[in-house]
Amino acid sequence: MAEIRLDNIRKTFGKVVAVQDISLTVPDGEFIVLLGPSGCGKTTLLRCIAGLEQVDHGRVFIGGRDVTGLAPRSRDIAMVFQSYAVFPHMTVFDNIAFGLHMQKQPSAEIKRRVQAAAGLLQIETLLDRYPAQLSGGQRQRVAVARALVMEPAVLLLDEPLSNLDAKLRLRMRTELKRLHKMVEYTIVYVTHDQVEAMSLADRMAVMNQGVLIQEGAPLEIYNRPQNVFVAGFIGSPPINFLKARLMEKDGDLFVATQDFALQLPPDRAARARESARSNDVVLGIRPQDVHELARVGWTEGDNRIRATVDVIEPLGDAVVVTVVTGEGSLQITLPADTRAQVDQPLELVVDVNRVHLFDPQTEEAIF
């Protein structure tokens, strides 16, 4: 097991800056997820950690050792690629044992390690089969087992679940989390799927265009996104962004869109007065932070929205409702037994303690 420390890593391909001066420390035993849209540099950063790419500048430390100039095999890492290839002409046992054979480990040791890894991944009954006789999920587990038998200090996983169907992906997600609890390796896991990232990560590092934007525990990032990009990337359905203005009235501070005004609670009003550089702001409201007035029975009138229901999408345990609020519209999530009906009016209440404000120029969060 080992800590990973990235110090100012840059990697360019010609004119493309794939990784732009990223510094990141992953404590020993942590499950960290690199999250970001396709092309933001996740795989490149992982390959820099693995030693499969030479960095332009910066240092990579694994377990306190500067491995920047070392070949992949000297870094004490194992990596599972997005397109995990298993050897079709080898049995599952031989596939898993491959790296250990290359290391010329004694056969008793190989057997012990293969059996331990196969046990962890619940494929011990499949060791005599060939890959063609396995399901996608089983093959995927063989790929992870092949990495685990190397007993690396660090396990690097690049979108390992992306080739699986939705149901299997959910199951493997749970199994990976359980596996991490047992082996306690330091794991760096790459995905563009924010739900997968939220559910797996001890900590997430959100990237965009080669830049590390924000790192933190999943809920910390969900609750306090640092800028418009992070707020919009994390959460489902996505957060609603609305053009708004800050307005003082009788000592209270309101944030007003073209259709409605929300009164900010005193602590948030103080922060907005202190940090907002102008009265123009971007208001962010998550679909989960809007409630039906009839259900919550609010008494104060200042953070209500009068809306008309446009579209209702049932999800089973909840419904996604698109409402028209006048000029604009909002997507909100309501319980499945909502009284909302298409084309009917709906009175809503916004939880003003959970809304977000952003600077429209810098896109940085005010709160």
Q: Which among 230, 273, 182, 253 has a CA at the least distance from the CA of 40?
A: 230
User: How many residues does this entry show for the chain?
Assistant: 367
Query: Which 137-166 positions form the footprint of ligand ADP (CB under 6 A)?
Result: none
Contact region with ligand ADP (CB under 6 A), list: 10-18, 115-123, 275-283, 349-357: 10-18
Q: What SS3 class is residue 270?
A: helix
Q: Does 43 bind Mg ion (CB under 5 A)?
A: yes
Convert residues 212-251 into a mask of x (bound to Mg ion by CB under 5 A) and - (unbound): ----------------------------------------
Q: Does 191 bind Mg ion (CB under 5 A)?
A: no
Number of C-beta neighbours around residue 105 at 10 A: 16
Q: Is the dihedral of CA 281, 287, 288, 294 positive or negative?
A: positive
Distances (CA, A) of 282 to 35, 247, 333, 356: 24, 14, 21, 8
Which of the listed partners (ligand ADP, Mg ion, none) does 328 bind, with a CB threshold of 5 to 8 Å by partner kind? none
| Burial class, 356, CB count within 10 angstroms (exposed 0-12 / middle 13-18 / buried 19+) | buried
Q: What SS3 class is residue 332?
A: strand
Comparison of 43 and 303: residue with beta carbon closer to Mg ion: 43
Residues 6+ apart with CB under 8 A from 274: none
Strands 4-13 and 57-62: antiparallel
Q: Does 38 bind ligand ADP (CB under 6 A)?
A: yes
Among 4, 6, 18, 197, binds ligand ADP (CB under 6 A): 18
Comparison of 159 and 292: residue with beta carbon closer to Mg ion: 159
Comparison of 44 and 138: residue with beta carbon closer to ligand ADP: 44
Cα(2)–Cα(66) distance, integer angstroms: 12
Q: Does 194 bind ligand ADP (CB under 6 A)?
A: no
Q: How far is the CB of 12 from Mg ion (least distance, A)?
A: 17
Comparison of 38 and 125: residue with beta carbon closer to ligand ADP: 38
Q: How far is the CB of 229 from Mg ion (least distance, A)?
A: 18
Contact region with ligand ADP (CB under 6 A), list: 13-21, 103-111, 147-155, 168-176: 13-21
Query: Which 40-59 positions form the footprint of ligand ADP (CB under 6 A)?
Result: 40-44
Q: Does 338 bind Mg ion (CB under 5 A)?
A: no
Comparison of 42 and 268: residue with beta carbon closer to ligand ADP: 42
Residues 6+ apart with CB under 8 A from 237: 287, 320, 331, 333
Taking phi over 0 as left and psi of -120 to 50 as alpha, with beta for the rest, 347 belongs to beta
Q: Does 325 bind Mg ion (CB under 5 A)?
A: no
Binding residues for Mg ion, rule: CB under 5 A, are 43
Binding residues for ligand ADP, rule: CB under 6 A, are 13, 16, 18, 36, 38-44
